[in-house]
Amino acid sequence: MLLRKKHRLSLFAAAFASWLSINSAYVSAEDRVFDVVAPFEIGGLDPAISGFIFQRMQITETLLEADEKGQPIPALAEKWSVSDDGKRWTLTIRQGVKFHDGSDLTAAAAAHSLNVSRNSTGMLRNAKIESISAQGNDVVITLAEPFKPLTALLAHSSTNILAPTAYDADDKVQKIIGTGPYQVTLLEPPQRLAAQRFDGYWGEKPSIEKTTYLGAGRGETRSLMAESGGAELVFQLDPPSIARLKRAKDVNVLIGAVPRVVMLAANAGSGATAPVEVRKALSLAIQREGIAAAVLRAPGTGATQMFAENVAAWHDPSLPALAYDPQASRELLRAQGWIPGADGIVEKDGERLRLKLITYSDRPELPLIATALQAQLREVGVEVEVAVENASAIPAAHNDGTLQLALYGRNYALVPDPLVTLLADFGNGGAEWGPLGWNNPQFSETMTALLAADDPAEQQRLRNKIVALVQEELPLIPIAWYRQSIAVSNKVEGAAIDPFERTFGLSTMRWAE
């Protein structure tokens, strides 16, 4: 136990030393610096990889933004229009916008950034784009076929607009030169960056002048930094720390609903979980509200369906809730030929029902939930091996087909319209963070119909049908709905949780008097 405590303290000391070095590297002792700590590493300069960090730190911006309901609003593009056939989009670039290198934002510069994004792994690949060009002060996007959620793609961090000087001759990003209210002064992937207010910003100037970002994967480390005053804003708290931080006199804890869901993905294409009845049995064995209350410390967040009420367009209040019924679970398994052995674990043809569940610790609640699921599934005769690995282990197991179970948090606000994330996750039998081996023609047809629908009532009917199909066959098994948590120093005012997790809110905060 003593060695474990020393190990934890050494990890904290290393992170804290890193934080100290970032400040001493570029600010004097009398300067006030707003320090942000979050679990995300800066994986690279490509916006498709780490653009969300630069966006949240308000260093980069996109052509369009989203309001608190996810509806598109102007940003670097002050207006937009769509042709009658839905294939030609014209976005007028805002005048007077400067990049951090002093150059002007032009339609040509914006089109260049979008073309780089289009040719990478960013979200623009979801639309069938024929060309992106600059015509005068307009960016013109021509599609092979209509794609109504394009506004949501143009608000995604992978479409961050960078200055021409940010790229090398091969269009690889060499520097982060954006248009946001903050500009980079220090960038040291994978953990840290520093930024200061950009006096040439086109919008309202922020009150806070200097800021830093530190990527710290361990939830304990982040919570200790909040408690010790090592950071002004700590993003994503582990549940055991929330109660302790609420008692801290110098810290305010904010909690808010976000469109993120804890999912259990089961291989629907091969292995023991391929039959829908087995996936239903797994679902029936899960005591969601117990997990929500005991593990997440958030009663009422057990997922009764894929989306919570805060995602109103995708929540169907008439849909029968996912139930907890271990006896029904056992009966389904027996009907599939899984018979309890001497130790209670079910067997079929001499093989035990043993499944490997992969999860990761970047979100500290996930290993705790995995352990709870392990115990609950054991009650119905399913033996689960929990493997806490890097987050990359899930896509790797998905891609090579070895994945059996995976537990993760899926953010359906990656773009402001969840439809785009669903299209990416469920297309072609399932992508890395979607289902594995699930092909349902009715589901695909309904998604296509929703993309083409214009009538709001018909759109809602189709969304409800999509959610019902997932509930019926459970290629992904919802476990809990997220509430995001942040710890904010009482030295600052104006902090709030962005429901779409697009910004840390630096520009709307100020130092307390």
Q: Is the torsion defined by CA of 267, 273, 277, 282 positive or negative?
A: negative
* Ordered DSSP codes for 375-408: HHHHTTT-EEEEEEE-TTHHHHHHHHT---EEEE
The count of C-alpha atoms lying within 13 angstroms of the C-alpha of 75, restricted to the half-sphere facing its C-beta, is 25
- Kindly list the domain boundaries of the chain, sorted by start residue: 45-166, 182-257+484-511, 258-482
Read off the pLDDT of residues 9-50 as tens digits, 9 standing for 90 and up.
444 445 554 544 454 444 443 479 999 999 999 999 999 999
Structure tokens at 484: 């995001």
Please tell me the distance from the alpha carbon of residue 273 to that of residue 192, in angstroms, as a whole number: 41
- Name which CATH class applies to 258-482: alpha beta
SS3 255: strand
pLDDT confidence of residue 26: 47
Under 8 Å between Cβ of 89 and 81:
yes
pLDDT confidence of residue 500: 85
Cα distance between the two ends of the chain: 43
Structure tokens at 286: 């899960």
pLDDT confidence of residue 75: 98
Strands 354-360 and 383-389: parallel
Tell me, yes or no, if the two domains 45-166 and 258-482 fold the same way.
Answer: no
Please tell me the distance from the alpha carbon of residue 198 to that of residue 177, in angstroms, as a whole number: 11
Structure tokens at 13: 């000391």
182-257+484-511 is classed CATH 3.40.190.10: yes
To which residue do tokens 């015509």 refer? 135
Please tell me the distance from the alpha carbon of residue 337 to that of residue 326, in angstroms, as a whole number: 17
Please tell me the distance from the alpha carbon of residue 306 to that of residue 69, in angstroms, as a whole number: 18
120 residue type, one letter: S
For the chain, 513 residues long, the average pLDDT of each consecutive 10-residue run is: 44 50 46 94 94 97 90 96 96 98 98 95 88 98 95 95 98 97 97 97 96 92 93 90 90 91 96 97 98 92 94 93 98 98 95 97 89 98 96 92 95 86 84 91 94 92 97 97 93 92 94 89
Please tell me the distance from the alpha carbon of residue 310 to that of residue 307, in angstroms, as a whole number: 8
pLDDT confidence of residue 25: 46
Burial class from Cβ neighbours inside 10 Å (0-12, 13-18, 19+) for residue 482 reads: buried
Please tell me the distance from the alpha carbon of residue 139 to that of residue 478, in angstroms, as a whole number: 40
Closest to 178 measured CA to CA, from 279, 60, 64, 277: 60
pLDDT confidence of residue 51: 95
pLDDT confidence of residue 18: 53
Measured between alpha carbons, how far is residue 204 from residues 52, 132, 156, 207, 507 in Å? 21, 30, 22, 9, 8
Under 8 Å between Cβ of 418 and 412:
yes
Read off the pLDDT of residues 131-179 as tens digits, 9 standing for 90 and up.
999 999 999 999 999 999 999 999 999 999 999 999 999 999 999 999 9
pLDDT confidence of residue 416: 85
Q: Phi and psi at residue 177, in whole multiples of 5°?
A: -120, 95
The count of C-alpha atoms lying within 13 angstroms of the C-alpha of 398, restricted to the half-sphere facing its C-beta, is 23
Structure tokens at 136: 């005068």
To which residue do tokens 């207010």 refer? 197
Structure tokens at 395: 């896509």
45-166 CATH, one of 3.40.30.10, 3.10.20.440, 3.40.50.1360, 3.40.190.10:
3.40.190.10
